[in-house]
Structure 1
């Protein structure tokens, strides 16, 4: 069984628009989870907060590992139920139709516990990437002031 999560989607929005959805705290809070302390700078730490559930307090601790605007963003992902942090990487590639190919790669799931967490995270990422992000991009004004 693969140990990583890789999801790909095509979005009919320019890479700079998709990039803002991945790096603007207000946008992240609308389609992913409420975010606290996000600054798109290597080494900065932030938290994502969701509804707690048994075995998880609802908080994901993250730290920016790499950033190459508007093509690449990578950060740690460490929930309290995880023994070691995992890594989330977003890769944006422009497409010929002025859209964006977006890839999510979530790595670092180890052992039996990691296999279970991988299954849980995969379902969440599918919802966020394939439903919530496209809805956010379609229903939000992306003009720059």
Structure 2
């Protein structure tokens, strides 16, 4: 299989969670809410060791399962102020099936100013199906709640 065919096969086996909404907040307000560790802890999970700098490694802690200690290992991949923020989201263990299965994904927030505020597109990409079905389903529901809470936290900062 050539490299292009291998990439296409890989992409066909993955899926993303995408939330795309317009918020009545300025881009600066949303940017601060998604790149400030204290605020992030209010709408998602409290990060440990977070800094919005490319290469920064930080963690989130959630419920352990089987061979997985519950630690989500992250690394900041991109910081384009007021436009794009991305980080790796890795966790789980190969020995786990269902909750806690091995996960190697990327979370990307893209902001765009619009007439009524700011369009926020959140994409959590790289879920390998069917291996990551449980994470994809659970996190899909979780991200909806997180983005709702993000709007509230951002509104408090405006």
TM-score bracket for this pair, using the shorter chain length: 0.7 to 0.9
Once residues 42 and 82 of structure 1 are traced to their aligned partners in structure 2, the CA distance between those partners, rounded to angstroms, is 27
Q: Which secondary structure state, in structure 2, belongs to the residue aligned with residue 70 of structure 1?
A: coil
Contact 2:57/2:75 (CA < 8 Å) preserved in 1?
A: yes
Q: What RMSD over aligned residues (CA atoms) do the two structures have, in Å?
A: 1.9
- 1:1-145 superposed matches below 5 A: 3-50=15-62, 52=63, 54-55=65-66, 57-80=69-92, 81-97=100-116, 99-129=117-147, 131-138=148-155, 140-142=156-158
Using the TM superposition, give the Cα deviation of residue 5 of structure 1 relative to its aligned residue in structure 2, in angstroms. Answer: 0.9
TM-score, structure 2 length as denominator? 0.79
Structure whose alpha-carbon radius of gyration is higher: 2
Once residues 11 and 128 of structure 1 are traced to their aligned partners in structure 2, the CA distance between those partners, rounded to angstroms, is 14
Contact 1:14/1:100 (CA < 8 Å) preserved in 2?
A: yes
Structure 1 residues 32, 84: CA separation in 2 closer, same or farther (over 3 Å shift)?
closer
Equivalenced residue count is 138
Unpaired runs of at least 5, structure 2: 1-12, 93-99
Runs of at least 4 residues off by over 3 Å: 53-58
Using the TM superposition, give the Cα deviation of residue 86 of structure 1 relative to its aligned residue in structure 2, in angstroms. Answer: 0.4
Using the TM superposition, give the Cα deviation of residue 20 of structure 1 relative to its aligned residue in structure 2, in angstroms. Answer: 0.4
Contact 1:3/1:115 (CA < 8 Å) preserved in 2?
A: no
